[in-house]
Structure 1
Amino acid sequence: MPKSDVLFEPLTLPCGEVLKNRIAKSAMSDSLGDGTGHPTAPQNRLYQRWAQGGLAVSIIGEVQCLSGFAEKPGNLVLNENSELELFRKLAKYGCENGAKLWLQLGHAGALSYAPTSSPKGPSALDLPGLSCEELTRDEIKSLPSQFAKTALLAKQVGFGGVQVHGAHGFLLSQFLSPLFNKRTDDYGGEISNRMRLLLEVIEAVRTAVGDTFPIALKLNSSDQLEGGLSEEEALDVVGALEETSVDLIDISGGTYFPGAKAASDGAGKGPYFIEFAKRARGLTTKPLMLTGGFKTRAQAEEAIACGVVDMVGLARALVLEPSLPNLWQKNERLEPNFPRFKNAPEGGVTAWYTMGMTNISNEIEMPDTGSLEKVIQDYEARDQKRIEVWQKYFSENTI
């Protein structure tokens, strides 16, 4: 098959679901929730725009099962107390044009946003910029059913699938990482124990949603931190996933641990985790998706054509050009024009892309690349307003 065709071949997942091509919008925290955990009209427009742009699936970053462990006050919260009609509307917009819209099931754990949470992780931590209490065994045992309930609601209101978030230093990733997980019970110690909760969540979600609903997993290739989850341990997890009902393994890497380097630091050109994906391919028959570092159509085509992965996850490229899949299919914009930022302050580039999603949803121009300080101020001011909304709403509505 010519390379120019491989990106637009359908992909049949193990559950039987057919994705129309091999391009996904990987999960990003769009931060467009209303502060009460519910979707907004701008969020509907954003995912509608991506669906119309020709991709196979969009994944909504960090949708919480409970309000107490959110990553940011712009996260969505989906459970039995949510206004389900608002989620049903989001699912409808995001599933236009044959696209699928999946929810990424999240729990920030030790990285829960302190102004709206009481962070808890596998083990108690007291570090500069990061402190949390330890989850009790009963709290751990309740987690799989919480993920499962939210997954079932996602199915009932019309979303096309879910992705369990086991990467980037959030809760399930924390259990995998020996830096976060110092437990001495059967959820700590060897990697076989540290992956126990992740496998229990997958099993509970599958039991809840049935055999034909897609379940993906986002997995770190490593934490990219000394003493964290190693590539060898991550490959052990991949091997164990072969015995589960997961439909797609999305390979990523890195963590939001304070002071940790970005995934792009020192990664070189091209997909960041392609070498890990090559090793993982030999351990599993599960479809693999690779997220991080794709900047051209040629890079995406090569990853699929060589058989290493089955899908590519694009994030910032689809913020710059929401219609990129359609353009690539027409041999246009083969190399999107990524902006260069000089002397970017910490968090500035992420804030720029996050506010870029806001601008897309409001159908206005992208932010000025030369005003990152202003972008950060706008980003933080929006969060501050929603902190107040979040605290008031969830103090009156325990969900």
Structure 2
Amino acid sequence: MTALFRPLTLPCGVVLKNRLVKSAMSDSLGDGRGNPCPVQARLYERWAEGGVAVSIIGEVQGDPSVAEKPGNLVLGPSSDEVNLRDLTRRGATNGAQLWAQLGHAGAMAHPPISRPRGPSALNISGLNCDAMTEAEITALPAAFARTAAMAKRLGFGGVQVHAAHGFLLSQFLSPLFNQRSDAWGGSLSHRMRLTLEVVEAVRAAVGTAFPVAIKLNATDQLEGGFEQAEALEVISALDATTVDLIDISGGTYFPGAASASDRVSSGPYFLEFAAKARPRTAKPLMLNGGVKTRAQAVAALDSGAVDVIGLARALVLDPVLPRHWQDNGADPAFPRFTSPPEGGVTAWYTMQMTALAEGTPGFDSDDLAAAIDAYDQRDAARTGLWREQFAR
């Protein structure tokens, strides 16, 4: 177990107490006005008490007009700083750190509360968005930087730039979403330009001793999308930046696409890709997705391909899993779902996070329909609150 519980010093000098990180998930526990509910602080406190080195809370928006869901947090002029400071304090107990995932949903922005806009205009089944203007694009690095600076001021221990899963920066990287012919599209060097500029703007805003991570797709898992060969080139480019941790993930929430988190696999999803990425960078690499057992986590670290293990659904099932693994305890028991609808498994785990936060039993795995209904009803109720709060 030495590998899992060995400290890691990030390039910025901050030390992670072990190699286990609660990966970003959309917990949907905001109050519908961009602020945290008290139970959200309890959720991240539970994970901190359970022994993780870091919890990453996603998504945290700087611009409420491009939010992923009405349960997201928003850092801006109307933020409830008292509850946000309570969240960051409680999420950093037991030597843990709480990082904010800086998000911008772009073309994937939730239409009932947003104005979807991405690199290029799209009008396809389930996805309609306008193209961003050059002025809107050039303003983005400073916008991300302002959100990062506010996160630091409110007590977050670090930030993660979200460039995966089909959200805005991922859209710019993907030739499927990004069909521009100007300085922001076409060649990979043009498509990665915005991501690199955001990373450096965020670093300038938070200083040299504050963790700045990035979440990057190994592949979009879409025909004509962002592929592994290009992802490796982006990792080579990130090696020349001041980023502290590269979180490797994959897949997209493109309508109708299979979610990476719902795939059937006997092991980590992107470990082979990480092994290819390892020679490209000296930055710490984090493996995200498909790690379900202690043996898999240890083997991934022992392989030398990665430095950190990201856990998400495993920590929903067992919020004190790091302590259990340190004591040679059991692995979590993952539920099985028969023919779940698109987004259904995500909804079930989201409602399990609510149960963890509230200290209630939650839904059984055979209550998938009830979990989806509760998830949808909560989003619908918060949509009106969001529109009222952020009316333009």
The TM-score bracket by the shorter chain reads: over 0.9
* Matching of residues 1-399 of structure 1 within 5 Å: 4-264=1-261, 268-333=265-330, 335-395=331-391
CA distance in 1, matches of 2:135, 2:312: 36
Contact 1:345-1:373 within 8 A present in 2 as well: no
What's the CA shift for 1:221?
0.1
CA distance in 1, matches of 2:342, 2:115: 25
CA distance in 2, matches of 1:171, 1:280: 23
CA distance in 1, matches of 2:346, 2:265: 19
Please give the per-residue CA displacement for 1:301-347, whole angstroms capped at 9, x wherever unaligned. Answer: 011111110000000000000000011001111x2111111232222
CA distance in 1, matches of 2:139, 2:262: 37
Contact 1:123-1:181 within 8 A present in 2 as well: yes
Please give the per-residue CA displacement for 1:144-189, whole angstroms capped at 9, x wherever unaligned. Answer: 1111011011111111000000000000000000010001111000
What's the CA shift for 1:263?
1.2
CA distance in 2, matches of 1:343, 1:271: 22
CA distance in 2, matches of 1:367, 1:185: 49
SS at match of 2:139: helix
CA distance in 1, matches of 2:340, 2:101: 29
> What TM-score, normalized to structure 2?
0.99
Please give the per-residue CA displacement for 1:29-85, whole angstroms capped at 9, x wherever unaligned. Answer: 000000000011010000000000000000001100111000000000002332222
Number of residue pairs matched? Answer: 392
SS at match of 1:116: coil
Please give the per-residue CA displacement for 1:4-32, whole angstroms capped at 9, x wherever unaligned. Answer: 21100000000000000000000000000
CA distance in 2, matches of 1:97, 1:83: 25
Please give the per-residue CA displacement for 1:112-135, whole angstroms capped at 9, x wherever unaligned. Answer: 000001100000000000010000
- The structure-2 alpha-carbon separation of the partners of 1:56 and 1:266, relative to structure 1 and needing over 3 Å to count, comes to closer
> What TM-score, normalized to structure 1?
0.97
Larger mean Cα displacement after TM superposition, 26-35 or 344-353: 344-353
SS at match of 2:169: helix
Contact 2:157-2:211 within 8 A present in 1 as well: yes
Contact 2:38-2:83 within 8 A present in 1 as well: no
CA distance in 1, matches of 2:267, 2:315: 16
Amino acid at match of 1:229: F
Amino acid at match of 1:18: V
Please give the per-residue CA displacement for 1:211-255, whole angstroms capped at 9, x wherever unaligned. Answer: 000000000001000000010000010000010000000000000
What's the CA shift for 1:86?
1.8
CA distance in 1, matches of 2:228, 2:240: 20
Q: Which runs of 5+ in 1 are unaligned?
A: none
Contact 1:219-1:250 within 8 A present in 2 as well: yes
Amino acid at match of 1:19: L
Contact 1:345-1:372 within 8 A present in 2 as well: no
Amino acid at match of 1:360: L
- The Cα RMSD (Å) is 1.0
Amino acid at match of 1:38: N
Contact 2:256-2:342 within 8 A present in 1 as well: no
CA distance in 2, matches of 1:10, 1:366: 34
Contact 1:29-1:354 within 8 A present in 2 as well: yes
